[in-house]
A and B are shown apart, each in its own frame.
Chain A
Amino acid sequence: MIFPEALSCPVPILTHDTVQMAHGAGGKLSSEMIDKIFLPRFTNTTLEQMEDQAILDNPGGRIAFSTDTFVVDPIFFPGGDIGDLAINGTVNDVAMSGAQPKFLSVGFILEEGLSFEILHRIVLSMEQAAKLAGVQIVAGDTKVVNRGSCDKLFINTTGIGFVPDDIHISASNLKPGDKIILSGSLADHGMAVMTSREGLSFQSTVKSDTAGLNHLVSDMLATSTEIHAMRDPTRGGLATSLNEFAASSKVGIQLYNDTIPVKDDVRGACEILGIDPLYVANEGKLVAIVPAEIADKMLATMQANPLGQDAVIIGEVTDKHPGIVALRTGLGANRIVDMPVGEQLPRIC
């Protein structure tokens, strides 16, 4: 997502243009960086206490808790950057339990020499993503490492959300007959990052789909709390999430091939590089497993939300071939969609 504010908001004036080792030393320069770069963007009453920890209200019940670390290269890519990715990634991991994400912590590892202009852009994009998701950043940490010890910056985010009592979403809940709903087209994020890496000599229009999915999940739970399982298929793609479901629930999964949406430009990039979109990362999509009786109603709810407007039922759960994900080809054959062995590599021919 591109935020117009991020382009117009001027970089605060600091003593240095770039991050120095002293910015991580806890002295005056550390305070200057926190006061000028982080606090104005992440501000809320909890963070402003500037204590060593955040004290949060607990409404009771179960807590969903998740952490993720972001090291994406390049840090800016079409459709987003490492900042909104770090917020959305953890928001989504918490939301996939059915919890409403509320609080995040953010840890930065900054490479000595990183320009504050870049850091500021990333912090603005984190602010916007957190606002859109409705989460507060209530704790933070910054470390500076020697040049070469990290690549520009790494971000860790940890998130907390509260799970309503009547919701029990789990990868081990799949039942034969359940329908599989995908919220939109596959492989946008992974191909956006891959095609923007140095060394790829073709231009592409592919944009990352990075987005917080928690409001879409809220809409879905308002329609029915009977969602059996839910994941955001990030690394390893849809194929990996579905294989994890099949293994955890000891059921088979049957996909109807021609219903899996992939945008034309994404498909073109995949075809050129010899990469299967089923294995490519998404950052703004979810796959939900729901009982057949509520599938159409759930699909309609998802399609009414902009982040689910291209949602489609892509397959169903079966008691045949337990543990295996199979895909019906256009010719009527049935092929296995296995777990990937390693990262997807462009093929020679």
Chain B
Amino acid sequence: MKYLDEFRDPVVAKKILDEIHAVTTQPWVIMEICGGQTHSIIRNGIDQVLPKEIELVHGPGCPVCVTPLEIIDQAIEIAGRPDVIFTSFGDMLRVPGSHKDLFMVRSEGGDVRTVFSPLESLKIARENPDKEVVFFAVGFETTAPGNAMAVAQAAKEGLTNFSELVSHVLVPPAMEALLSSPLNRVQGYLAAGHVCTVMGWDEYDPIAKKFKVPIVITGFEPMDILEGILHTVKQLEAGTYKVENCYARIVEQGGNQPAQKIIRDVFEITNRKWRGIGEIPVSGYKITEKYAVHDAELKFEVTDIHTEEPEICISGVILQGLKKPHDCPAFGKECTPQTPLGATMVSSEGACAAYYLYQRIAD
């Protein structure tokens, strides 16, 4: 299949891998930001074939993982109301809140529907004028333009029965927060290719300079990831810290300008809580005053729902690469992919869920 097979070619991948082995002389800790990259690394076993000196730390770029528990609880509260059609991307439905998940809301009679785009929720809103249609707008800069577009379109059409429960988070502030931690171990970043497709890479130059870390924009296929690792290791070995683009077939420096324009129109930057990390200043989006009528958090008055994470969960330190999942007393016991206690066990892209499988083969 074109644009896929050439980036999965094992012969070429092996060549890049050999080069990584050749240039690596000492231990390096590299974080891949995006959950899609983690997924690809695990799926293809990239971490198993790298030089033992290279440690990959799985970053916070999994929207399912980092959406805070209290927003899930807010979603569950809204979705259970009789006048609401609650719409969401599929993988949010299984994420447990404090007491239940959205699947359970559906089984109790809530109208919860999977959609593949927020514009489909808009269509549902058009067809159901007597219902409140809510879209669960989660994700990073990648999903923000589509979610912003749905709000702008709803406003244009006067669809006041459409709103979004927004939990949008931004990558660069999280990268900075992780590097600022006194316990930080990350020495280089594989930046998330899709995020850069939308936003470009100008935001990364100051981070690379301030913290002296190489940042390499990386795609998602095995060859993309190996190429990203190779360039990061080369920089680390040479002591340089530039922003490099290894996903040039899609990413341009300025990003996607029309997408950024619609984001600026609908969203404004706000402080956001990250599951497993806590609040990071200016690290997310909320709906602007202009579109407040489409903000589900205000419409359904759920702002007073606050939930604390289970104390036993150490996903915060795992996300920083300070501890491994099997260092957690709950790992594989109270906490499994079926009964996740925290961020990194929630999604197959999370570090704990990934290790849960590897732990078993090591037995």
Contacts and interface: CB of A to CB of B under 8 A. Distances in A.
Interface of A: 199-201, 258, 264, 267-268, 271, 273, 321, 324, 326, 329-336, 338, 341-342, 345-349
A284 to B, nearest CB: 23
Nearest to B337: A341
A335 B43 contact: yes
8 contacts: A201-B116, A324-B360, A330-B10, A330-B44, A331-B44, A333-B44, A346-B114, A349-B143
A341 to B, nearest CB: 5
B49 interface: yes
A324 B139 contact: no
B116 A348 contact: no
Contacts of B47: 333
Given A331-B17, A334-B361, 15 more contacts: A199-B116, A201-B116, A267-B1, A271-B4, A324-B361, A330-B10, A331-B44, A333-B48, A333-B49, A335-B42, A338-B357, A338-B360, A345-B93, A348-B64, A348-B138
Contact of A331 (B4, B13, B360): B13
Contacts of A331: 10, 13-14, 17, 44-46, 48-49, 222
B115 A330 contact: no
Contacts, number: 100
A307 B194 CA distance: 40
Contacts of B53: none
Interface stretch (B84-92, B287-295, B316-324): B84-92
B36 interface: yes
Nearest to A342: B94
A36 B49 CA distance: 66
A334 B123 CA distance: 44
Interface string B93-133: 11000000000000000000111110110000000000000
B257 interface: no
Interface in B38-81: 42-49, 63-64
Contacts of A326: 361
Contacts of A273: 116
A26 B337 CA distance: 50
B149 to A, nearest CB: 14
Nearest to A338: B357
A345 to B, nearest CB: 3
